[in-house]
Structure 1
Amino acid sequence: MTHLVFFCGHAGTGKTTLAKKLIGPLMRASATPFCLLDKDTLFGGYSAAAMGMLTGDPNDRDSPLFLQHLRDPEYRGLLDTARDNLELGISALVVGPLSREVRERRLFDRAWLGIGTDVALRVVWIHTSEETAHQRIAERGNPNDAYKLAHWDEYRQRRFVPSGEICKDLVMFDNTAPSRADYEALLAHLVGEPHGSSAMPPVPV
């Protein structure tokens, strides 16, 4: 069985750092090869070239122009790449905000994803406080975040915390200051093992 795991959440929540920390233990626990598909790594260079040509700002990832014309093609390419790997027997850990897709529950729609019931599906919403996210974004100094920081009041309106029916089957993970036990509980859930299973490999902290 292959696995499709989504690490979703707003900027500054530590999605990529968490994915890199867990992918090794995840492969060992599931006995399955995984690829790590990060939206920014896959499409960052292309989008920088496109936005530089269109607006003169290669670091723009939050303006209305980007959101209306490039956001969805980036995500479709991300999902298409994941599906290609799954068809080859390689599980995928997909990293990206995907907030709209979580809100609309598209990531639980196997027909929309183009996957069968033979793929184990997990969706994780990684979150932290707005203040912590803002601090992390400012400290990492990524030029792609310049628009967010300059228009924070506008950007923060797009931040949301899943609740109600949206949370059905959605794994919530507080990435503010997780402990080893928190990492191992998440890992156990991702591979379908009961919490505290001795089969879980140790997670580095």
Structure 2
Amino acid sequence: MPRLIFFCGHAGTGKTTLAKRALPALHRATGESFCLLDKDTLYGDYSSAVMGVLTGDPNDRDSPPYLQHLREPEYAGLMKTARENLALGVNCIVVGPLSREVRAHKLTDRAWLGVGDEVQVRIVWVHLREDEARQRIAARGNPNDAWKLAHWDDYRTRLFMPSAQDHPELLLLDNSEPAERVFETLMTALGG
């Protein structure tokens, strides 16, 4: 049964770091192959080129033009790549904010995902307090975060924290806990 594991959450929460740490641990625990599909790795250079043409800012990943023209095609391509790997029997770890999709429960909609019942789907929502996430974003110095930081009041209107009651499909992972405790909780929940 191939696995499709999502690491979702807002910027600066540590979802990519956790996914990269989980992949080899899952491989060791299960003996199965996994591929990492990070939205920023797959589409970062392409989106930089397009946003440079559209807005003159190749690092823009949050403005209205980005959200209008590139967000949906990036996620569509990400999911197509995951489906191709799953069809070949390769487990996939998909990393991206996916906040709209989580809010709308799309990651449990097998028709939207384009996967059958044979695929085991797990969704990890990584979260932090807003102030801590903002500090991490500023500290990492990624030029793609410049719009977020310069327009924080606009950006923060898109932030939300799903509740366990409304989103029982999610493993809610508070990444402000001690790192080893967070990782142990994650691996136990993922069966690794």
Structures share fold, TM-score greater than 0.5: yes
Q: What is the alpha-carbon distance in structure 2 between the residues aligned to residue 45 and residue 59 of structure 1?
A: 10
Distance 2:6 2:166 in 1: 15
* Distance in structure 1 (CA, Å) of the matches to 2:29 and 2:188: 8
Per-residue deviation, 1:76: 0.6
Q: 1:168 deviation in Å?
A: 1.5
Counterpart for residue 170 of structure 1:
170
Q: Which residue number corresponds to residue 103 of structure 2?
A: 103
Contact 1:105/1:166 (8 A) holds in 2? no
| Counterpart mapping for 1:44-193 below 5 A | 44-163=44-163, 165-191=165-191
Tell whether 2:60 aligns with 1:43.
no
Give the superposed CA RMSD: 1.2
TM-aligned CA deviation for residue 109 of structure 1:
0.5
Structure 1 contact 63–147 (Cα < 8 Å) conserved: yes
User: Which sections of structure 2, spanning at least 5 residues, go unmatched?
Assistant: none
SS of the residue corresponding to residue 167 of structure 1 reads: coil
Tell me the TM-score normalised to structure 2 length: 0.96
TM-score of the pair, normalised by structure 1: 0.90
- Structure 1: how far apart are the matches of 2:40 and 2:118? 28
Aligned length: 192
Shift of 1:165: 5.0
| 1:65-89 CA-partner distances (Å, limit 9, x unpaired) | 1101100000010011011000011
**What one-letter code is carried by the residue in structure 2 that aligns with 1:63?**
S
Contact 2:54 2:65 in 1 (8 A): no
Q: Is the 8 A contact 2:19 2:93 kept in 1?
A: yes
Do 2:175 and 2:182's aligned partners in 1 also have CA atoms closer than 8 Å?
A: no
Structure 1: tracts of 5 or more residues without a match? 192-199, 201-205
2:33 maps to which residue? 33
Structure 1 residues 182 and 141, CA, compared in 2 at 3 Å: closer, same or farther? closer
Q: Distance in 2 between matches of 1:85 and 1:119?
A: 12
SS of 1:49's equivalent? Answer: helix
